[in-house]
Amino acid sequence: MVIQAYVLFKVSSGTERKTCEKLVDFGEVLVAGIIYGEYDVIAKISVPDMKTLEAFLSERIRKVPSVILTSTMIVAREYKGRTGRISK
């Protein structure tokens, strides 16, 4: 079963763009973006199972130097809009 999740990041000040660029280099990251509010960056990831999710988060994501804190939200069910587009 494929697991999809949104990961919220707090990153070092001024590193938002570089962090996003690093995150999208990982094959598991579908999209990453800079956000405003309590967190700085969000990424949507897709992995084959929970074991892979745990390994990806702890062994790769949390080792990105600018990452201070992460919060992971596992997708239970997803709905698409009419256009299915992601704006850039």
Q: What is the DSSP secondary-structure string of 20-66?
A: HHHHTTSTTEEEEEE--SS-SEEEEEEESSHHHHHHHHHHTGGGSTT
Global pTM reads 0.89
* Residue 68 falls inside a structural domain: yes
* Residue 83 falls inside a structural domain: no
> What are the CA-CA distances from residue 15 to residues 10, 20, 47, 52, 68 (Å)?
10, 9, 25, 27, 11
Q: What is the pLDDT of residue 79?
A: 87
Domain that holds residue 31: 3-74
Length of the chain, please?
A: 88
- Helix/strand/coil for 84: coil
* Residue 18 falls inside a structural domain: yes
At a CB cut-off of 8 Å and minimum separation 6, what does 35 contact?
A: 8, 41, 42
* Residue 82 falls inside a structural domain: no
Q: What is the pLDDT of residue 85?
A: 63
- Per-residue pLDDT of the chain (88 residues), as tens digits, is 899 999 999 999 999 999 999 999 999 999 999 999 999 999 999 999 999 999 999 999 999 999 999 999 999 998 888 876 655 5
